[in-house]
Amino acid sequence: MDLDNNKKETQTEKELVEAYLNQLALDTPDLWDRIEAGLDAEEYQNADQAADQNAVMNAKETVQEIKAGKKPKRMAGWIAAAVSLAAVLLAAILVVPFLSHSGRMDKTEDSGRNEVMPDEELVQSQDSAKNESNSDGVDFGNAESNGEEIENSDGLEHDSLTEAAEENASVNGIQPEGIVCTLEILSRTEENCHCRIISIEENSFALSAGTEIEIICMDGTVEAAQGSVLTALLIEKQENGKYLVAIQRPEE
Amino acid sequence: MTEEEFQACMTAMTGGDRQALKAVYHAYLKLIFAVVYDTVRQREEAEDITSEFFIKLFHIAGTYRAGNGHKKWLVTIAKNMAIDRIRKTGRETPAEVLPEPEQEQPEFTEQIVNRVTLKQAVAGLKPDEREILDLKAVGQFTFAEIAQMTGRPMGTVTWLYNSAIQKLRRCRQWI
């Protein structure tokens, strides 16, 4: 009896489970369409994202290409900046010596004046007659034709100008070779003066009276050489074939 | 579905084969839906989670490693997804509103009346009982496996299953 009951219960349990599964099958929804739709949506989204990523990558590549394209321009800019800097430095290197030269020339001019004046006084105290004959002006080119006192004064002046020229030349690396001469200014620009030598004391540069030369205009030189004033100059030849001068104002 | 067949389906899914997913879907839809429904206890949400489960399965097919039983693996994933959903929604798991006992109508056939009464009986099961019943009846797990999966002692699992069967049997006796 118990075995029969157990068999019946087991059978009943199996039937119950089977009935439960059947009912569950009826209650379970068909979700396949939703799942496929979800997969499709994800694939579409992934495709969109991939497209977006491709677009982003393309944009990045484009930006990189543009950047790469700009690099040479930047390099050119740097080169231009470097060239500009080099030009400025070169100009400074070229100009600073001239400025210092000019400053030294001013000093030379001042020292020349300081030294000339006592000489003049000395000459005047020693021989008034001779001083009167030279009072119209000192022609440095014709200094040899004057008296001894004048020669002394010229000699002092020449020495001071020579020393100044030596200083300038030593700065520029040029061997000091001072020439005292008189010039006639034929034409002048801001940078250069075209002059003709009227007379020349020394002829180290193979210059002679009547020779036309180009002189680099220095501060004060142009003003002192306004018009066609005969000017006593200390000439220093430059490497570019032009001449650098220190002005010695002619005495009145 | 055998372990080898499931493994083959997973490999095919890794290559993007939707038919392999469909085979798994037909084999395990009832089990997954039952497990999810037993956790969230709301039909619409259970449908959502079940759909998401199979979509997720399609993507993670490559992570499956054979050897530990594919049904257990599937049930674990489905249950975790359902628990995650409950945590996200921040709600407790209220029992779905039970259907009102339908009045027996003379024109119903015996089969329909039988199904309706069985449905009522299933609705009257406790959540634990239904979970164990689903795992045993639908998943065809052993009591030992169910005990391991649910973290309950095997005696408790057996007791809950017998309790569920007794309730269903009583319902059947109403007929």
CATH 1.10.1740.10 domain position(s) in chain B: 3-89
Q: Where are the alpha helices (DSSP H) in chain A?
A: 2-27, 32-126, 128-133, 148-172, 221-224
Q: Which residues of chain B are within 8 Å of residue A46 when distances are taken between CB atoms?
A: none
**Strands A180-188 and A192-200, how do they pair?**
antiparallel
Q: Which of B19, B42, B55 to mutate to test the interface with A (most CBs of A within 10 A)?
A: B55
The pLDDT value recorded for residue A45 is 82
Q: pLDDT band at residue B98, thresholds of 50, 70 and 90?
A: very low
Q: Is it the case that residue B150 has pLDDT exceeding 50?
A: yes
The pLDDT value recorded for residue A75 is 62
The pLDDT value recorded for residue A166 is 45
Residue A94, SS3?
helix
The tally of CA atoms less than 13 A away on the side-chain side of residue A63 is 6
The pLDDT value recorded for residue A197 is 77
Is B52 near chain A, with CB under 8 Å?
Answer: yes
- Give the DSSP letter of residue B68: S
Residue A199, phi then psi, degrees to nearest 5: -150, 155
CA distance B48 to chain A (A): 9
Using a pLDDT cut of 90, give the percent of chain B over it. 45
Using a pLDDT cut of 70, give the percent of chain B over it. 82
Q: Is it the case that residue B54 has pLDDT exceeding 90?
A: yes
Residue A114, phi then psi, degrees to nearest 5: -60, -35
CA distance B72 to chain A (A): 19
CATH 1.10.10.10 domain position(s) in chain B: 110-174
Is B119 near chain A, with CB under 8 Å?
Answer: yes
pLDDT (tens digit, 9 = 90+) per residue, B9-50? Answer: 999 999 988 899 999 999 999 999 999 999 998 899 999 999
Q: Which residues does B11 contact at the CB level (< 8 Å), separation at least 6?
A: B20, B61
Closest CA to A136 of A59, A249, A250: A250
Q: Which residues of chain B are within 8 Å of residue A35 when distances are taken between CB atoms?
A: 21, 25, 51, 54-55
Residue B158, phi then psi, degrees to nearest 5: -60, -45
The rounded distance, in Å, linking the Cα atoms of A124 and A116 is 12
- Work out the burial of residue A69: count CB atoms within 10 Å of its CB; fewer than 13 is exposed, 13-18 middle, 19 or more buried: exposed
Spatial contact of B167 and B116, defined as CB atoms under 8 Å apart: no
The pLDDT value recorded for residue B75 is 92
Q: Domain B110-174: state its class.
A: mainly alpha
Q: Which of A189-198, B87-96, B137-146 has the lowest mean pLDDT?
A: B87-96
The pLDDT value recorded for residue A173 is 38
The interface pTM score, or ipTM, of the predicted complex is: 0.78
Q: Is it the case that residue B91 has pLDDT exceeding 80?
A: no
Tell if the CB–CB gap between A31 and B54 is shorter than 8 Å.
yes
Nearest 10 degrees: CA dihedral of A168, A171, A175, A177? 0
Q: Which of A16, A38, A39 sits opposite B169 (nearest CB)?
A: A16
The rounded distance, in Å, linking the Cα atoms of B133 and B160 is 8
The rounded distance, in Å, linking the Cα atoms of B135 and B150 is 10
Handedness of CA B83, B89, B94, B100 (dihedral sign): negative
Q: Is it the case that residue B114 has pLDDT exceeding 90?
A: no
The pLDDT value recorded for residue B68 is 79
- Give the DSSP letter of residue B106: T
CATH node for B3-89: 1.10.1740.10
Spatial contact of B53 and A71, defined as CB atoms under 8 Å apart: no
The pLDDT value recorded for residue B96 is 47
Locate A100 and state its tokens: 């210092």
B18-40 and B43-60 helices cross at what angle (nearest 10)?
Answer: 140
The pLDDT value recorded for residue A142 is 40
Is B20 near chain A, with CB under 8 Å?
Answer: no
The pLDDT value recorded for residue B172 is 52
Over chain A (252 residues), the average pLDDT of each successive run of 10 is: 62 80 87 90 82 77 71 67 87 72 50 44 44 41 40 44 45 44 75 76 70 72 49 65 63 48
Find residue B101's DSSP bridge partners.
none
Q: Is it the case that residue B171 has pLDDT exceeding 70?
A: no
